[in-house]
Structure 1
Amino acid sequence: MLTFPLINDTSRKIIHIDMDAFFASVEVRDNPSLKGKPVVIARNPLQTGGRGVVSTCSYEARAFGIHSASAKEAYDLCPQAIFISGNYEKYTKVSKQVREIFKRYTDDIEAASIDEAYLDVTENKIGAQSAIKIAKLIQHDIFVELGLTCSAGVSYNKFLAKIASDYEKPHGLTLIMPEEALEFLAKLPVEKFHGVGKATVPKLHALDFFNGGDLQKADPVDLAERFGVYGWELYQKANGIHNSKVKNYRERKSVGKERTYGKLLYLPDDIKAELSKISGKVSDSLKSHQLKGSIVILKLRYSDFTTLTKRKSLAEKLESPEEIAEVAQEIFEELEYDESLGVRLLGVTVTEFGAQKSTLDMQ
């Protein structure tokens, strides 16, 4: 087996903050009568003909086995659950309030999603030597000021901090020190490795890789041959190595909008009209970010949840609503559209911006 020098930067202090059942927790906070009850953020399937998916749910709902599921599956598991459609605008506002709390301690913040973020506190605004101290202060501030709880993971890299924040929830705080990382990871099942998807787990099991310890003993060349660059990265992570820096911005890779229809669309002319409306919104977003793209992607979902996606590459970059709509409609005409099923969702995305001046989405 070939060996490679593994360079591990253990000098950084990284915190991963993960809001606990974020959307559901905000709803319970704003309506205390929901406390202790199974709350599911999704439209009630009894009112939608069984359509809809669960965004998140309270821990009381999770006790019934509800996680990522359709609203119908959630109802079957827990008919007494309280279904709430959700208010993304409100959740975004609260997310920004959480970010303002982060800024008291560091400006090196990378939002992973609306309810989680990485913070590099190696150098911080309060001059604290202890990342644990800062994590506790953040948890305190969020609880006292916003009435919400979060879980925190602390370690020397983003990968380990993320795993640590998942280790004890809700309102947990887990520290993984450099000298503890290998032993901690050796016991961790491969399905708990952040980035290992459901499709990859059986492939790893088939090769007798069941935990981090198995990956630590693997031949990295063999992993790379079987899984490409991802295999080499997985070997490094199993050995506690992940040198990706906390980035306080993300360059926008695509701009897209989609819409779900309560009343299904059947007629091609109606679908094309909706594509024009969606294209207009995509165009507005492109212009606000000073972007033009040369690939248009159409997404179409039937009433039975079958989803079709098709893209078209163009010689020139575009941003106008008329141009985007024209391409989206051309793509639709090229699909083998089944008019009998009805369309419940349409989406239009523009990507492939290439080298051009663009704004950055501050997270």
Structure 2
Amino acid sequence: MVMSIDYTQMPRRDVLCIDVKSFFASVEAVRRKIHPLGAYIVVVSNRNRPGSVVLASSPKVKKEFGIKTGSRAFEIPNDRRLMIVEPSMSLYLKVNKMIIDILKRFVSDEDLYIYSIDEAFLDVTASRRLFGDKFEIAKKIQHTIFKELKLVVTIGIGDNPLLAKLALDNEAKNAPNGLAYWSYERVQETIWRIPELTDMWGISSGYKKRLNNMGIYKVYDLAHADRFKLKSRLGVLGSQLYYHAWGVDYSVISERVGPREKSYSKGQILMRDYYVEQEIIVVIQEMVDEVAMRLRAHNSAASGIALGISYSKDIEERGFKHQMLLQRSTNSTKELAVSFIQLFKRYWRGQPVRQIHVVCTKLGSDEYEQINLFSAAECDEKNHAIDAVMDTIRLRYGKDSIFRAHSLLRGGTFLRRANHVGGHKG
């Protein structure tokens, strides 16, 4: 039985989902005074490693060579037209800030949601009297960003954020004018005709397999599935996916609720497999050092931690993720490192490690940091003083201006990565 949905009861807003076409590659093209749509640029995390990941490629490279985000460096053909460059993350962040400043000319802060470094949602419902209807606003944004930054943007327009995002991903990115509008009234001819389940926002390859096992292969099948069976098999997400297949999304950008719990984290993919315990511990200590510095910069202390370890692709085991509560809240590099190392030793059994992720959770103000009954107050003060001095020096002279001696040991990565931004060269 096909469910009937009364779309008159749904929030109907003018929502734009904006994407900068091949952002990293486009910025590199503009930097070289080349039109982004005419460039042959591939941004690779490290040109010296054949297995390096492609972070972005120009539209022409995608179309003519099939090289896209996620491809590997060894897949790039030897063609003299291709320009292979390493990322400039600091520049990308600077340009991202310029784009956000342009978007803020069209909407208030509460009607703007930054989804990623190259995507943003705008609710322009309240901007119509100033700039015209949603189509006029979309065109003005395209024109302004190209005029000032020489970047090409595509825009999905929808009656809610879901429809805007689906319009962007499934039509606007390939439309001649870079625009597409999906409304409640067009769900059957738009959403239900999306060819792949993974082209739906929120459906990963893992959930695709689970849906396939239930006999669901297309978005049309999802919209006509038994929603109660979906919920029993997939939980709340099953219900959400069902309603998404009907274009239902009650969220309003200005009323969005932020994350329930803030945390600070750092992840790192290692350049090789690590087999030696002490080498792995060195990397964990370096990563904790950086996260602890961020905690102190925000006057925060953590009372919980989580450690994620991923193993080499050459073994069947995938790794582990475990968390623990601390005896007291802290932002001390030494105290946090001791807890992370304890967690690592408890669960690691000698497998080759390729990726590490450290997270500090359950945050509170460092004004209420508890006294440690099991260590002398003088030791606490000494550790805090060392942290404070190191933070001050790094902020003034750079991250690599002062470092702990263990970074000189075999396995250390801090000095090589000190000037990276987001894990890539600045």
- Count of aligned pairs between the two proteins: 351
**How far apart are residue 196 of structure 1 and its match?**
0.8
Greater CA drift, 304-313 or 166-175:
304-313
Q: CA deviation at 1:270?
A: 4.0
Q: Counterparts of 1:355 and 1:163 in 2: how far apart (Å)?
A: 40
Q: Secondary structure at the match of 1:140?
A: helix
- Partner amino acid for 1:314? L
CA distance in 2 between partners of 1:305 and 1:54 (Å):
22
Is structure 2 residue 153 aligned with structure 1 residue 150?
A: yes
Distance 2:122 2:357 in 1: 33
1:331 counterpart = 2:343: yes
Q: Choose which of 262, 266, 271 in structure 2 pairs with 1:253.
A: 262
Unaligned runs of 5+ in 1: 358-363
Structure 1 match to 2:319: 308
Change (3 A) 1:231 1:2: same
Higher CA-based Rg: 2
CA contact (8 A) 1:28 1:34 kept: yes
Q: Is the alpha carbon distance of 1:186 and 1:310 closer, same or farther for their aligned partners in structure 2, counting shifts above 3 Å? A: closer
CA distance in 1, matches of 2:90, 2:105: 24
Query: What amino acid does structure 2 have at the position aligned with 1:28?
Result: A
TM-score, structure 2 length as denominator? 0.73
Per the alignment, do residues 354 and 188 of structure 1 end up closer, same or farther by CA in structure 2, a change over 3 Å counting?
A: farther
| Structure 1 counterpart of 2:359, from 326, 342, 349 | 349
More helix by share: 2
**Structure 1 Cα separation of the partners of residues 5 and 339 of structure 2:** 50
| Match of residue 188, structure 1, among 177, 190, 194 | 194
Residue equivalent to 2:119 = 116
CA distance in 1, matches of 2:282, 2:128: 52
Residues 32 and 345 (structure 1), Cα distance of their counterparts in 2 relative to 1, 3 Å cut: farther
- 1:294 maps onto 2:297 in alignment: no
Q: Is the 8 A contact 2:211 2:217 kept in 1?
A: yes
Q: 135, 139, 145: which one pairs with 2:138?
A: 135
Structure 2 CA distance for partners of 1:261 and 1:286, relative to 1, 3 Å: same
Q: Which residue of 2 aligns with 1:283?
A: 292
Pair 125,279 (structure 1): closer, same or farther in 2 beyond 3 Å: farther
Return the offset for 1:291.
Answer: 3.2
1:222 alignment counterpart: 229
Match of 1:204 in 2: 211
Structure 1 residue 279, shift from structure 2 partner: 1.3
Residue in structure 1 matched with residue 26 of structure 2 by the alignment:
25
5 Å matches for 1:227-246? 227-246=234-253
- Correspondence for 2:413: none
2:179 corresponds to 1:179? no
The superposition leaves residues 296-353 of structure 1 with CA deviations (integer Å, 9 ceiling, x where unpaired) of 23344566587634323114333221121111221232343548x5x66544221233
Letter in 2 for 1:97: M
How does the TM-score come out when normalised to structure 1? 0.84
Q: CA deviation at 1:130?
A: 0.9
5+ long unaligned stretches in structure 2: 368-426
> Alpha carbons of 1:60 and 1:335: their partners in 2 closer, same or farther (altered >3 Å)?
farther
Give the RMSD, CA atoms, in angstroms: 3.1
Q: 1:85 corresponds to which residue?
A: 86
Query: CA 1:92/1:53 → structure 2, altered by over 3 Å: closer, same or farther?
Result: same
Tell me, yes or no, if structure 1 residue 39 matches structure 2 residue 41. Answer: yes
Q: CA deviation at 1:90?
A: 0.9
Q: Is the contact between residue 105 and residue 126 of structure 1 (CA under 8 Å) also seen in structure 2?
A: no
- When residues 327 and 82 of structure 1 are mapped into structure 2, their CA distance, relative to the original with a 3 A threshold, is farther
Question: 1:274 Cα shift?
Answer: 3.3
Please point out which of 282, 298, 305 is paired with 1:273: 282
Counterpart contact for 1:17–1:152, Cα < 8 Å? yes
Change (3 A) 1:185 1:347: closer
| Alpha-carbon separation, structure 2, partners of 1:235 and 1:123 | 30
Question: In structure 2, what is the Cα distance between the partners aligned to 1:123 and 1:61?
Answer: 39
